[in-house]
Amino acid sequence: MSNYRRSRVPGGTWFFTLTLADRQSRLLIDEIALLRHAYGQTQRSRPFRTIAICILPDHFHAIWSLPDGDADFAGRWSLLKSTFSRQFPAATASPSKTRRREKGIWQRRFWEHQIRDASDLQRHVEYIHYNPVKHGLVERVADWPYSSFNRYVGKGLLPSDWAGSAGADGLFGE
């Protein structure tokens, strides 16, 4: 068994990737209202600030800042995943999934990266916003409806034509 250790910095900021077990699924955008409900319920129950987010058909990326003195992002993700999963009927599950009370919708783990500084934050925000173009879902970042990009545009933080085409180059994310 692996001895995986997560960074535990109270009040820190992290980049996350959560992925569905079925990488061919479109569940996250097909059921976007249920995902938004689970996300909002989690945020009300266990506060955090969403800096950037992008929902894709089979995975999503987010950057969160936690409240001072709080480092439990894993508990928040567990709550969000279980709240979302409860909206779907149980399927036949393996003994391992049954023991863990999982429906098999999500991959068990998630990826996290602690944001180190302002340039690291900027790279990860850009990575998140560019992701729908990278995956061939749209040609222009502004055309993807399940992203915080248009919120950034509305606040004057990015121009509406930022990284507008699939041919755009950039040093995004990792």
> Which residues participate in catalysis according to the annotation?
146
Q: Which of 90, 81, 83 is nearest to 59 (CA)?
A: 81
Q: What is the rounded distance in angstroms from the CA atom of residue 62 to the CA atom of residue 52?
A: 6
Q: What's the gap between Cα 93 and its chain centre? A: 25
Q: Which of 60, 53, 54, 52 is nearest to 25 (CA)?
A: 60
- The owner of tokens 């998630």 is 110
Q: Residue 88, CB half-sphere, CA atoms under 13 Å: how many?
A: 19
